[in-house]
Structure 1
Amino acid sequence: MLGRFLAFLVAAFTFVTPASSTVVTEEPWHPVVAAYRTMLFMADLVPPPWDEIRKAYEEPHPAAAIQRPANTFFDALPDGMGVTIASTIETKDRQRLYEASTRAVSQLARKALADAAAMLSEPGQANRKALEAQAYYRAFGSFIEQADPEAGRRLGLAWLELMSAIGTSGIMGANVIAANKETFERSRAEIDAYLAANFEPDAFAERRKLAPLPETVVAARGEVPVAVWLPPGSDLSDQDPLPRLVLNFEEKGIDETDLPLVAFGDMLFDSPNIFGEPARSLGLTCSTCHNRSDINQRFFIPGLSHQPGAVDVRGSFFNPMFNDHRRDSLDIPSLRGLRFTGPYGRDGRFASLRDFTRNVIVSEFAGPEPTDFQLDALLAYMLEFDFLPNSRIDETGRLAAGASQSELRGETLFRKPFPQMDGQSCASCHVPSAAFLDRKAHNIGSRGQGYDGALDGYFDTPTLLGAKYTAPYFHDGSLPTLASVVDWFDTRFQLGLQEQERTDLVAYLNVVGSADEPFEEFGEPNTVFRLAWEELTTFATTFDALARSRDAANAILMLETVALDLALDATGMLNSAARSQVFELVEILNGMRSAVSADDWAEAETLWASFKEMKEEYDEAMY
C-alpha cells in the first residue's frame, strides 16, 4: 500500500523481504559492482537482454557513484582481462561471463586490500584503498551472509578489525593513531583467503541461477536459495509528489467504513499477499505501479523497465510460465475512471475488467487463483476510481468560460476532420463527451510490425483526462511531451499543421489534461503516515463483516497486510513519540490473526474491541 512503498527500499545489498523495508536511500554502488550485480540479474532473465548487459559494462551505471578513473566496469580492469569478459558477452555465454566477472571482482577486492596494506604508513591512503576493497566486497557480501552465515559473521568482524587497524594521521599532529599492522594483516588474510577460495576457484560449478554463492557452499550443498533481490538502480518507491486519489463514493459523502466490500478491495489493491513469488517478497502490490489509482512514474527495474514508469510483466522474472520471450516493456497506464475506459490491457485484449484483473494476479504475477469474493471486492473498489476534477472543461468535454484564444482555436482544430486521417478528427477517437475515448483499439502506426504482414499494432484509445500528469506518452512512453505527440501525428499523417496550429493544439490538450488538485497535499498533522493510518484502520473495519461470515482465510489475509504495513509505516512517523502506540495496535492485530487461525473467533472479537478502543484513544497522535 501507500506506506509500504514509501517505506520500501531496495536496501544496501538490494535484498528485499517485506520485513526488511526501511526509510533510507540506496547507497551508491562502485561502478564495477553496479555493473556486476546488474549482469547477474539480467543474465538470469529468459532470454537475457544482452545489449543491456553490454551497456552495463561499457557505460557509467546510473546507480554508481563517480569513481575516477574507473567509472565503468571495463575501466577498472587490468589490461587484457576486459577482452575475455567482452568476448563472453559477444558469444552470449552466461556461465563463462559469470565466471570471468566474478573472478575479476574478487581479484579487484584483494588487490585493493593489498594496496591498503602497502600504504599503512599513510593512513589516509590506506583507508581509501580499504574502502575501495569494501565496495568491491559488497558484490558478494549479502550472498555470503545468507548462504554461509557463520563465515559472514567472521568476515564482518574481520572487516571491522581491519578498518580499525588502519589508524589515523590525526589533525596537525594531534590524535595520531599508529596502524596496527599485525591486526590488519590477520584480518586481511582471512578476507583474502575466503574470496580466493570461493570466488576465484580453479573451476566453478555450472549454475542454474547466477547468484554469486560461495563456491565451497555450492560444492557441499548445491545452489542454496537466497532472498529475492533486485539490481542496483531499482526503484519501487511511490511517485513524488503523490497523485491525488478521487473515489466516487467519497465525493458523494459516503464513508468507506460503511462499504466493507469496497474497503476489502482497497486492502487487496494494497496487499502483496494476493501475488505469488517473487512479487510477494518484493512487497509488490497493485498500488506499487498504480499510485493512488494513477501511475508510478518512478517505478524502475533494470532489465524489466526500458525507462522509469514502465515494466515488462510478461517476462520470466515474475512468472516463468507466462514468459512470452518478447522484450515489451510498456508504460504503466492510469486507472482513473476505470469503469469508463474499457477494453483493458494496452492492446484492449480484455473486454472484461474482471478477466483483466484475474490475469494480472494469476498470469502476470503468479498469484493463487483469487476467489469470487476477492475479485468482487477488487472490482467494487477499482470501479470507484474517478477522474481528477477539472473546472476548465464542462461535463461534455467543452472548454469552460475563460479559455484563451489559443485554447479555443486548439479545440476547433481538435474537432476538425482531416482527409489524411480518412476524414476523421482527433475527437473521432478521443470523444470529448465520452471522457475523451471511444472504447476501441486502433492501429495508428505507433508500433512497428512484429513480422511481415502482421497486424499487431493495435492499442486501445487512452483518455486525455489527466494526461498532463502522465507523461511520457504512447504505449511505450516514446514521446516525452504533449507537444511531441502533436508533432508525431502531424508528421505521421502529413497534416501540414502550421507552427501556430501546433501551439494551439498543445494549449488545448494541456487544458483537457489538467486538474484542479492533481497531487496530495501534506503537512502537519496531515502527514504521509496520517494518510496511511486512516487507510489501514479503515481496512481493519472489514473484520466485522469477515467475522460474521467466519471467513478465516480473508480475515487472516487482511490482518497480515494491515499489521505489517502499520509496523513499516510507523518508521516514517513525524510524531515519533507515538510510535510505540502503533506497535501496541500491531500486536493486537497479530493476536487477532493467531486467534482466527486457531478458530477462536470469540478471542479475536475481544481483541478487536480492544483495538477499536485504542484506535480512538490514540487517533490524534497518529501523524
Structure 2
Amino acid sequence: MRVLLATLASALLLSGPVAATPAKEAPWLPEAAAYRLTLFLGNLEPLPWDDIETAWSEPYRGSEFSTGAVEWLDRESDIKPDGLLNAMMREDRQAVFAEATRLIALRIEEELDRALATEDPATAQQALRTARELYRAFEDGVAAADSEAARRIGLAWLELNSSTGFSGVLGAGSTSADRETMESARAVISGYLAENYLVDDFATRRALSALPETAVLSGRAIEVPPSLPPGSDIFDQDPLPLLVLNFEEQGIDETDLPLVAYGDMLFDSAQIFGSPARDLGITCSTCHNRSDINQRLFVPGASHQPGAIDVDGAFFNPIFNDRRDDPLDIPSLRGLRFTGPYGRDGRFASLRDFTRNVIVNEFGGDEPTPFMMDALVAYMLEFDFLPNSILTTDGRLTDAAPEVARRGEEIFNQPFAGLGDRSCASCHVPDANFLDRQAHDIGSVAPAYEGARAGALDTPTLLGTAYTAPYFHDGSLPTLAAVVDWFDETKALGLTEEDRASLTAYLETVGAADEPYEAFDTENTAFRLAFAELTTFASTLDTLLPRRDAEHILLLTDTVAADLSADASTMSNLAARPEVYALAERLAAVGAAVRADDWAAAEASWTAFKSEAVAIEERAF
C-alpha cells in the first residue's frame, strides 16, 4: 500500500500542474553548467555577453567546484575551447551555440573513450559517471524531441554502467568487464551524438536549446520544458520570516474568511502566472516569503545579487521586455495597506492595478478574474508589520530603547541644510509608519539620459528593515550604517562619528522586531506549517462547491493537491507520509469530479478530505 501511494503521488506530480515547492537539483560539472548558462543567457535580449564570458571563466554561483569551465577543461581534458572563446570574442551567438554544443558532445566522447580504454573497473565507472553527468546538459532536449531515443540512450547508460566489471573486495568477488556489451551500448550513445550534437553546421537557432539537430531540421514545433540555469536559487529564505496577519492577531480563523483564504492560496500558486514562471513553480511567495523578502532568490541574467530580480526583462515575459538591465531589490510587502502608492517609483495608485500588472505583464499570466483579484487584494491587505515593543504606535522609542538609539532619535528629527532644512523624519514620518506616501529623487538613481527626471522613488517604511538588507532600490548599500554614511556624505550633513553611530542605532532599533522569524522544533516543523496552510486553502471549497464555481475550484485543487504531495517529501514523521499522499489524491479527486461535472462525487471526495485531514493533523509534522 505504501508503495502504491508513493507511486500515485509521483504520478500526480508528473502529470498535473507543477508544484510551487521547488526541488533541489544535483550539482553540475563546470563545462555542463557553463553550457546551460550559455543556452539561458543566449535567449535574453539584449544578450549579456559579459555574463556568457563569466559563465565559462568563473564557477557558477553555488558551485562545488572552485574553477571555471575553461580552467577545468585545461586541467581535466585534452579538448581545447579555442573555437568557443573566439566565437565569444566575436559576439557571434550562433557560433557560440555551435562550438559549446560540440564541446560538450566531445567531452562525453572523451570520457567514454576513457571508460572503454581502461582495465580498471573503478576508473571506468568514474569516467562513465562523468560522461553521464555531461550528457545531462542535452537530456531534456532529447526527452522533449524523441522519447523513444531518450529511452534507448537511458538503457545504454545502464548497460554501460553494469558491464564495466567489479574489482571485488580485497581481491575477492571480482568480475571482468563485458567489452562487447560496453561497445554496443557506447555505439548507441555515440551514434546519437554524432547525428545531433557533433554536426559540422547547426541550423540557425532562433531560441537556443538542447534540442537535437534532427528534431530542429524536422520543422516540428517542440517545446523544451523551461528550466533555470545552474546557480539559480528560488528556495525560501532560511530562517523563514514570520508572517503577521491582521485578522490572526485579532483571533479570527482564516477558515472563516474564504475570500482571504483563497487569496492566500493564489499568493502561493504558480498557476496564476504564465510560462516559464508557472512551469518553474514561481509564485508571489517565491519572492515575498511570508509577505517579506526572499533574500536568497537569484536567477542568473535576471539578478545582479541575491534578493533582486529584473521582472521586466526578456525571461519571464518577452513582450514586456524593456531592454534595460535594471534588476530591483525585492521590496517587503509588510503593512501593505499603509504603504501605497505601489511600485518602487509609486507608479500604481491602487494595489489592485499593481497586482494585475505583476500577474499579466511581468509574469505573462492570463487576465485574472474579478474574484481572483478581490481575493488576492483582500489577503495582501491583511499583511501587518512585525511587532516591535520598543516602539510606540505613534513611532516614538520607549524607555526600553538603548540610550544611543534615543540620541539617534533626536538626530533623526533634526533639520539639516543638506536636506533642504528638512529632517529624516520629514519623509519617514514616525507617526505614519515612517512613510510620507510620496516619491523623492534623492540622487540614488543615475539619470537614464541628460535631463531625465525619472529618479524619484517611493519613500520606503523603516519598520522591519533590520532584516531586509541590502538597502536602496538596487540593494547597493549593505547595511543601515552604510545608508547613514551615504546620506551624510552626499547631503553634507556634517555628522560626527558619534552621530553616525547614534543614527544607525536608532534605525536598527526602529527596524527591529520582537520575533522576526518562524520558530520551528522537532514537531512544529516547516511541514506542519505548510499542512495547516494548505488545508486552510482547501477550506474555501465549502464556499466554492455550493456555487458550482468550476473555474476557481480547479485552480485551487490543481495547486493545493500538487503542493501537498510535494511538501510531504519534507516530513519528519515518515510513517505519516503515505497518509498525506493519500490526502493529496483525495483533493485531486475533487478536481477530477468537477472536470467530469459530477458534483455529487466532488462533494463526497471533499467530505472525505476534511475528515481525513482532521484525523492525521497531529501526525502531520
Report the counterpart of residue 581 of structure 1 in structure 2.
579
Aligned position for 2:160: 162
| Amino acid of the structure 2 residue aligned with 1:574 | S
Q: Tell me: CA distance 1:68–1:481, structure 2 relative to 1, closer, same or farther (3 Å).
A: closer
**Alignment-derived partner of residue 285 in structure 1:** 283
Q: Which moved more, 1:127-136 or 1:200-209?
A: 127-136
Q: What is the distance in 1 between the residues matched to 2:74 and 2:505?
A: 47
What's the secondary structure of 1:400's corresponding residue? coil
Q: State the one-letter code of the partner of 1:466.
A: G
TM-score (norm 2): 0.93
Moved more, 167-176 or 507-516: 167-176
How many Å separate the matches in 1 of 2:602 and 2:112?
57
Give yes or no for the alignment of 1:431 onto 2:411: no
What secondary structure sits across from 1:178 in the alignment? coil
Summarize deviations over 1:60-107 as a string: whole Å, max 9, x none.
222433277966466469789533322322332211110011111111
Deviations 1:420-461 (A, max 9, x none): 111121111111111111111111111111111111211111
Which residue matches 1:34?
Answer: 33
When structure 1 is superposed on structure 2, of 338-347 and 186-195 the one drifting more is 186-195
Task: Classify 1:590/1:580 alpha carbon distance in 2 versus 1 (closer, same or farther; 3 Å).
Answer: same
The whole-number CA distance in structure 1 between the counterparts of 2:98 and 2:75 is 17
Displacement, 1:402?
A: 2.2
Q: Distance in 2 between matches of 1:284 and 1:24?
A: 12
Counterpart AA for 1:87: N
TM-score by length of 1: 0.93
Quick one: distance in 1 between partners of 2:129 and 2:554?
46
Q: Which residue of 1 aligns with 2:57?
A: 58
TM alignment of 1:210-229, pairs within 5 A: 210-222=208-220, 224-229=222-227
Q: Secondary structure at the match of 2:444?
A: coil
* Distance change (3 Å), C-alpha of 1:583 and 1:446: same
Q: CA deviation at 1:610?
A: 2.3
Amino acid at match of 1:376: D
Corresponding residue of 1:43:
42
Kept in 2, the 8 Å contact 1:32–1:105? The answer is yes
1:31–1:67 contact (8 Å) kept in structure 2: no
Q: Report the counterpart of residue 601 of structure 1 in structure 2.
A: 599
Structure 2: tracts of 5 or more residues without a match: 1-13
Aligned equivalents of 2:587 and 2:526: distance in 1? 22
After superposition, residues 373-392 of structure 1 pair within 5 angstroms as 373-392=371-390
Map 1:193-342 → 2, pairs under 5 A: 193-222=191-220, 224-342=222-340
Distance in 2, matches of 1:141 and 1:76, equals 25
2:91 match: 92
Q: Structure 2 vs 1, CA of residues 23 and 461 (structure 1 numbering), >3 Å: closer, same or farther?
A: closer
Structure 2 Cα separation of the partners of residues 205 and 171 of structure 1? 51
* Residue from 146, 149, 159 that aligns with 1:148: 146
Opposite residue 261 of structure 1, the aligned amino acid is L
Shift of 1:311: 0.8
Residue 448 (structure 2) aligns with: 450
Q: Match for residue 108 of structure 1?
A: 107
Q: CA deviation at 1:39?
A: 0.7
Matches of 2:307 and 2:21 in 1, distance apart? 22
Q: Are residues 55 and 181 of structure 1, via their aligned partners in 2, closer, same or farther at CA, if it must alter by over 3 Å?
A: same
Paired with 2:110 and 2:271, the residues of 1 have a C-alpha distance of 45
Structure-2 change in CA distance of 1:312 and 1:169 (3 Å) = same
**8 Å CA contact retained: 2:125, 2:164:** yes
Checking the alignment, whether the CA contact within 8 Å between 2:20 and 2:269 is kept in structure 1 is: no
Give the Cα–Cα distance (whole angstroms) in 2 for the partners of residues 90 and 477 of structure 1: 31
**Deviation of residue 361 (structure 1)?**
0.8
| More moved, 197-206 vs 247-256 | 197-206
Q: Distance in 2 between matches of 1:69 and 1:288?
A: 29
| 1:222-243 deviations in Å (ceiling 9; x for gaps) | 4521111110111111111111
Residue matched to 1:8: none
**Whole-angstrom distance in 2 between the partners of 1:291 and 1:299:** 10
Alignment of 1:506-545 (within 5 A): 506-545=504-543
* TM-superposition CA deviations, 1:443-484 (whole Å, max 9, x none): 111111111111121111111111011111111111111111
Instruction: Go from structure 1 to structure 2 and tell me whether the alpha carbon gap of 1:181 and 1:68 turns closer, same or farther (over 3 Å shift).
Output: farther
Query: What is the deviation of 1:244?
Result: 0.5
Report the alpha carbon displacement of residue 555 of structure 1 after superposing the two structures with TM. 1.6
Give the C-alpha shift of residue 171 in structure 1: 4.5
What is the DSSP-based 3-state SS (H/G/I as helix, E as strand, rest coil) of the residue aligned with 1:95? Answer: helix
SS state at 2:81 partner: helix
- Structure 2 SS opposite 1:370: coil
2:531 maps to amino acid = W
Identify which range, 53-62 or 603-612, moves more after superposition: 603-612
The residue aligned with 2:361 is 363
Structure 1 564/352 Cα, relative in aligned 2: closer, same or farther at 3 Å? same
What is the letter of the counterpart of residue 51 of structure 2? Answer: E
Letter paired with 2:150: G
Q: What SS class does the counterpart of residue 434 from structure 2 fall into?
A: coil
Q: Which amino acid aligns with 2:141?
A: F
1:391 and 1:516 in contact (8 A); partners too: yes
Deviation at 1:314, TM superposition (A): 0.5
Q: CA deviation at 1:508?
A: 1.1
2:20 and 2:78 map into 1 onto residues whose CA distance is 41
| Superposed CA RMSD | 2.2
Residue 188 of structure 1: aligned partner: 186
SS at match of 1:273: helix
Tell whether the 8 Å contact from 1:472 to 1:479 is kept in structure 2 after alignment: yes
Which secondary structure does the structure 1 equivalent of 2:545 belong to?
helix
Following superposition, the deviation at residue 395 of structure 1 comes to 1.0
- The residue identity in structure 1 corresponding to 2:249 is E
Return the letter of the residue paired with 2:261: A
SS of aligned partner of 2:243? coil
Give the corresponding residue for 1:7. none
* Alpha-carbon distance, 1:55 to partner: 0.9
Pair 1:498 & 2:496 matched: yes
CA, structure 1 residues 50+63, in 2 after alignment: closer, same or farther (shift >3 Å)? Answer: same
Distance (Å, rounded) in 2 between the aligned partners of 1:100 and 1:431: 58
| Number of aligned residues | 608
Query: Deviation of residue 593 (structure 1)?
Result: 1.6
Distance 1:23 1:351, change over 3 A: closer
Of all paired residues, the percent bearing the same amino acid is 56
Contact 1:32–1:76 (CA under 8 A) maintained in structure 2: no
CA distance in 1, matches of 2:490, 2:397: 27
